[in-house]
Chain A
Amino acid sequence: MKDSGLDSSSARIALGLWVLVLVALAYGITNTFINVLDLFAG
């Protein structure tokens, strides 16, 4: 697989999607942990 396929527009969008989903997951997980602190602080 010498050609990584990164030259097509859909491949670039897919890379952008990777970033989007990772940022979204980080947002969700961070918010969850903030709430979890309440659980053990209480």
Chain B
Amino acid sequence: MGFDFFMWVTLVIWAGLFLYLFRVEAKVSQLEKRQ
């Protein structure tokens, strides 16, 4: 396994984390508006 493999794994983990944070951010903003 070369560096490229670890680079892509790290990029996929980061993209997943960003998507998760994005969804939580949207949900929290929605709840704040409702309050």
A and B interact physically: no
B interface, CB within 8 angstroms of A: none
